[in-house]
């Protein structure tokens, strides 16, 4: 594969990468441990919700394509008036709004009929939110093809792992392979497609973590491809 020549990175880009890593919680877990923790946390949700749009009916609506979905928008489900009001006011499910909602549904949407007390621990809640966004990203959606094409466009870039390693130094300050459980998933060994999809979600606003959005907004497609290649090979 042809090597991509390193792009010049200005001081603003480097500061953005540093802000990303300094601002996020330091503790991390391995990729496998993070995935398992997400599944374990979802068990408290699974009695009412399924991940797939064509899954069995339960008390709550399905969670397919949760990220970027307008609140109270699943056809045929009878939502509370309170959540419908929030939907009319523009509530969309993003990393930020899901984190606020799952901290205490009754406090975020007074009058909601969701009888879940919430996840008070911020680190565990962050794991659940990020896991949910990833697990439901492609679930039986008519928009999945467009999202996959977007990812493929980045993956089609000629990439060089050495360039990815050069760009990754600041990221690895927080996204480590080892560490205690916390709200920051490891990206070491993350499949390139999943890495690219997550970065594009932050860049286009589907996921709204402030520091990740700042970082992603400063990355060109060739830089994302190089980072994806590097982390996938670790």
What pLDDT score was predicted for residue 133? Answer: 86
| Beta-carbon contacts of residue 130 (< 8 Å; ≥ 6 apart) | 38, 95, 183, 185
How far is residue 208's CA from residue 203's CA, in Å, rounded to a whole number? Answer: 9
How crowded is the C-beta side of 103, counted as CA atoms within 13 Å?
12
Give the containing element (helix H, strand E) for 69: strand 69-70
How far is residue 232's CA from residue 193's CA, in Å, rounded to a whole number? Answer: 9
What pLDDT score was predicted for residue 24? Answer: 39
Question: What pTM was computed for the model?
Answer: 0.57
Q: What is the pLDDT along the chain (234 residues), one digit of tens a residue?
A: 444 443 333 444 444 443 343 333 333 455 667 778 888 999 999 989 998 888 787 899 999 889 888 999 998 899 999 999 999 999 999 888 999 999 999 999 999 999 899 999 888 888 898 888 888 875 444 344 445 678 889 988 888 889 988 988 777 777 765 543 355 666 777 778 878 888 888 888 877 677 788 888 889 999 999 998 988 887
What pLDDT score was predicted for residue 53? Answer: 84
What pLDDT score was predicted for residue 146? Answer: 44
Domains along the chain?
11-232 (1.10.760.10)
């Amino acid at each position: 594969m042809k090597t991509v020549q390193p792009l010049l990175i200005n001081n603003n880009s480097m500061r953005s990468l540093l802000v990303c890593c300094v601002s996020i919680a330091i503790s991390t877990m391995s990729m496998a441990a993070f995935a398992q923790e997400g599944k374990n946390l979802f068990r408290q949700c699974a009695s009412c919700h399924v991940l797939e749009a064509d899954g069995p009916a339960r008390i709550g609506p399905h969670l397919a394509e949760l990220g970027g979905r307008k609140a109270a928008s699943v056809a045929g489900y009878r939502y509370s008036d309170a959540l419908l009001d929030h939907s009319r006011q523009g509530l969309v499910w993003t990393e930020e709004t899901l984190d606020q909602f799952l901290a205490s549904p009754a406090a975020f949407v007074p009058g909601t009929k969701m009888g879940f007390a919430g996840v008070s621990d911020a680190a565990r809640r962050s794991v659940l939110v990020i896991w949910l966004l990833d697990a439901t990203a492609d679930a039986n959606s008519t928009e999945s093809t467009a999202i996959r094409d977007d990812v493929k466009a980045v993956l089609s870039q000629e990439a060089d792992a050495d360039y990815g390693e050069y760009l990754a130094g600041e990221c690895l300050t927080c996204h480590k392979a080892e560490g205690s459980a916390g709200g920051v998933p490891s990206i070491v060994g993350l499949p390139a497609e999943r890495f690219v999809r997550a970065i594009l979600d932050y860049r286009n606003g589907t996921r709204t973590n402030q520091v990740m959005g700042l970082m992603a907004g400063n990355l060109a497609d060739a830089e994302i491809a190089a980072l994806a290649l590097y982390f996938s090979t670790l």
